[in-house]
Each structure stands twice: as structure tokens, then as C-alpha cells.
Amino acid sequence: MDLWSLNLKNASGSPCLLRTSFREVCGKSGKAAGTRVLEISALKKRRPSGAPRPVLHRSLVVRALAKKNNNNSNNNNNNNSNSSSSGNGDRSTPDSSDGNRSNDTASQKSNHKNLDWREFRANLFAREQVEKGESEAYNKDEGHHESKPLGVKWAHPIPVPETGCVLVATEKLDGVRTFERTVVLLLRSGTRHPQEGPFGVVINRPLNKKIKHMNPTNLDLATTFADCSLHFGGPLEASMFLLKSGEKAKLPGFEEVIPGLCFGARNNLDEAAALVKKGVLKPQDFRFFMGYAGWQFDQLREEIESDYWYVAACSSNLICGGSSSSSSGLWEEILQLMGGHYSELSRKPKQDM
């Protein structure tokens, strides 16, 4: 399929569309090499009647078993690390009949939710801003700046694009109808391979239509997802959808963008509909997009360096929360949360081109 994206190199200096092309490592686990079994001669000898058991030797056996279990654990960890990053790798789950293991699993899920590295980084950024403010206040002999809690909604600039970040259109894209004042969620940050460039979807252009209004021919779209909202996702001709997985484990067949949010394409519709019919997800957990945006790796980098896009990380609540109608104000909201000159830009009127 063809990809069309912004190209900075036209003669007039304004962006135009460029056509490009769009496109598990299971480590073979062998037997544990050199599995060692302790043979303790004292345990093989017949003890006199009433003699105590050799506690020291028994503890050595326990240690040997522990070592063996650790080796197994390491093997399991290696197998898990070899799972596909797209979520297709099968992961073994503990037997639900084992109460202790079930509790451990629940604890791990809770820790996974609480240890989102993006949120950790946002806290570091907020603390850095407070320290910077304190330094400036000291030079100006002003009062002390107190740090504020991060909150459920946050956004801050980052230096380079990453999967799950957002591209926020700058005033240079005012007048470019396709992208002016848009927020693009980057579904993959891409590589330098010409067929594996970065791509994403515009998340603040609701079409105020539902799928049923488009008279879909696909049975799942016409029934299971008929009342789902439609959004303009970009100029490239392919359909995408986002699904909120929440605190659920990774969903096989779907690629995670940020914790709690995955994406799929038309060839994932059967799996998506099956999850709804099983009650794992609800139709309201899905957002469908007509089209998407894509670049070559160096092309997006050049557009960012030329100030066509601000690159930002933002909270899942901003991307996943809210209704379709409220997403239209996402451009202003993200810039205001970023603060400084970004906040000033959010209040400027559109530039006439």
C-alpha cells in the first residue's frame, strides 16, 4: 500500500505529501546444562537408632534445590524476554488453583500498573522544573517554589519521538488543512528502513459519525461495532482502531502503544469482535479511525527540526479519557499542560497562510 506524508523539500518551502511504502524470537530452550545433584554420603549411611538427623547436610540439599529452582526461574525469564514485543508471544499463566501464585500474580499486575516509567519520568521532569524555578527565584530574591503533585493529566516535551508520544502541530502547519492544530499519537516510532517508518493517527479530529452511518459491509463493523465513533486519522488510506485494555494483561494479537492502550488494523477485526462477544472488552473501549499518518524516519526528524511539530509525552488519561467531542480541544489542553511558551501558543489565533 502507498503511504503519503508531509515532505518539507518542495520548492515553495511549505509541506506537501510524499509517497512511501508501508510494511518471535524464541530462544531454543535446551536442557539445563550440567544440572548438578549433591550426593551426601552421610545421608546414605545407616544412622544408629535415635541418632539425630544431620541438619547441616539437609540444609545443603535445600540449597541445591533452591539453586536448581533459580536456574529454572532464569530460564523462564529468558523465555519471557524472547516473546514478541507485538504481544503475539504466548506467555504461560500460573495455575489459578494455586492460591499463593494467584496472589503473586495479582500483586505483579498491581506493581505493573504503579510502575509506569513514563509517569516516573514525568515526575522527574516536574521536579526539575521546580528546581529550575527555585534557582531563578533565588537569583531574583523571590519566594520558594513548592512542588505540586503530578495529577492525572500531565504533558511535557521530550527531545526525540518514541512509541506512544504525541506530535503536536505548531503554528507553521496553520493553513495546512490536513494537519493544522492536530495531535498525532505515534503508534510506532519506526526505523530507518524505508518500509518501516514512523506512523500514527490523529486523535483530535472526531467526525461526529458512527460506523453504522457509513453503511459498512463488514459484518463485525455493522453489528458489534455499529455504535462506535469515527475519527479522521490521517491522509493515508487504511483503517486503524485504538482499544483501551485498562489493567488487563496484554491482549494477544494487538500491539501495546502505552500501558492500557493497544492498536489494531482491519485484519484484527475478528479478534477484536471476539473479545467483545466474550465480555473481555466493550464496544465503548474502541475508537475507529479513517486513515492514518506516516513518514520516512529522516523525514519526520527533519519536520521536527524545522519546527513543524512539538514532541511530547502525555498521560494515558489525556489520550484514552474523555468523549469524542472533548477530544477536539486536546491540542490546546496538551500545550497548556506543557507550560511556558507552549502554553502561550495555545492562546494564539490561527495564522493566515
User: Please, which pLDDT band fits residue 112 given cuts at 50, 70 and 90?
Assistant: very low
Lowest mean pLDDT among 14-18, 140-144, 293-297: 14-18
Helix/strand/coil for 293: strand
Q: List, for residues 325-336, the tens digit of each pLDDT value.
A: 568 899 999 999
Cβ neighbours for 82, distance < 8 A, ≥ 6 positions apart: 24, 25, 26, 27, 89
Evaluate if residue 13 carries a pLDDT over 60: no
Number of domains in the chain: 1
Average pLDDT value over all residues in the chain? 73
37 within domain boundaries: no
170 within domain boundaries: yes
Evaluate if residue 299 carries a pLDDT over 90: yes
More confident residue, 269 or 130: 269
Retrieve residue 69's grid coordinates.
529452582
In angstroms, the CA 168 to CA 334 distance is 8
User: Please, which pLDDT band fits residue 199 given cuts at 50, 70 and 90?
Assistant: very high
Question: How do strand 199-202 and strand 206-210 relate by DSSP bridges?
Answer: unpaired
- The CATH number of the domain holding residue 188 is 3.40.1740.10
pTM of the shown model = 0.66
Strand partners of residue 4:
19
Evaluate if residue 293 carries a pLDDT over 50: yes
Q: What single DSSP character describes residue 96?
A: T
220 within domain boundaries: yes
User: Please, which pLDDT band fits residue 320 given cuts at 50, 70 and 90?
Assistant: confident
In angstroms, the CA 87 to CA 65 distance is 33
More confident residue, 89 or 119: 119
55 within domain boundaries: no
Retrieve residue 254's grid coordinates.
494487538
- In degrees, to the nearest 5, what angle opens at C-alpha 279 toward C-alphas 276 and 282? 50
115 within domain boundaries: no
Provide the domain limits for residue 210. Answer: 2-7+153-346
Complete DSSP assignment for 175-223: T-TTTTT-EEEEEE---SSTTS--EEEESS-EEEEEGGGG---SHHHHT
201 within domain boundaries: yes
103 within domain boundaries: no
In angstroms, the CA 244 to CA 228 distance is 13
72 within domain boundaries: no
